[in-house]
Amino acid sequence: MPAARVRKEKSAKKIVPRKDGAAARDATKTREEKSVYNPTNPKRVETILHRLAEHYPNAVCALHHKNAWELMVATILSAQCTDVRVNLVTPALFRRFPTPQAMAKALQAEVEEMVRTTGFFRNKAKNIIGAAQRVVGEFHGKVPQTIEELLTIPGVARKTANVVLGSWYKIGLGVVVDTHVMRISQRLELTQATTPEKIEQDLMRLIPQKSWIDFSHRIIHFGRETCVARKPRCADCFLEDVCNSKDKTWSTH
- State the pLDDT at residue 36: 79
**What CATH number does the domain containing 194 carry?**
1.10.1670.10
Residue at 21 is within a domain:
no
Whether 75 and 140 share a structural domain: yes
Among candidate residues 83, 124, 178, 214, the one labeled active-site is 178
Identify the domain containing residue 82 by its residue range: 68-168
Residue predicted with more confidence, 4 or 150: 150
- State the pLDDT at residue 20: 53
- State the pLDDT at residue 77: 98
- Domain count within the chain: 2
Instruction: Out of 168, 200, 226, pick the residue that ends a domain.
Output: 168
Residue at 13 is within a domain:
no
Q: Given a cut of 80, is residue 25 above it in pLDDT?
A: no
- State the pLDDT at residue 26: 53
Is residue 159 part of the annotated active site? The answer reads yes
Q: Given a cut of 50, is residue 32 above it in pLDDT?
A: no
Find the range with the poorest average confidence among 11-25, 112-126, 168-182, 197-211: 11-25
Is residue 178 part of the annotated active site? The answer reads yes
Among candidate residues 126, 159, 231, 247, the one labeled active-site is 159
Q: Given a cut of 90, is residue 190 above it in pLDDT?
A: yes
Average pLDDT, the chain: 90
**CA distances from residue 230 to 68, 208, 220 in whole angstroms, order as listed:** 33, 30, 15
pTM value is: 0.81
**What CATH number does the domain containing 162 carry?**
1.10.340.30
**How far is the C-alpha of 75 from the C-alpha of 168, rounded, in Å?**
12
Helix (H, G, I), strand (E, B) or coil at 194: coil
Whether 190 and 151 share a structural domain: no
Residue at 115 is within a domain:
yes
Q: Given a cut of 80, is residue 93 above it in pLDDT?
A: yes
Categorize the per-residue pLDDT at 195 as very low, low, confident or very high, splitting at 50, 70 and 90. very high
Residue at 16 is within a domain:
no
Residue at 101 is within a domain:
yes
Whether 87 and 145 share a structural domain: yes
Residue at 128 is within a domain:
yes
Whether 155 and 87 share a structural domain: yes
- State the pLDDT at residue 6: 44
Whether 107 and 148 share a structural domain: yes
Residue at 248 is within a domain:
no
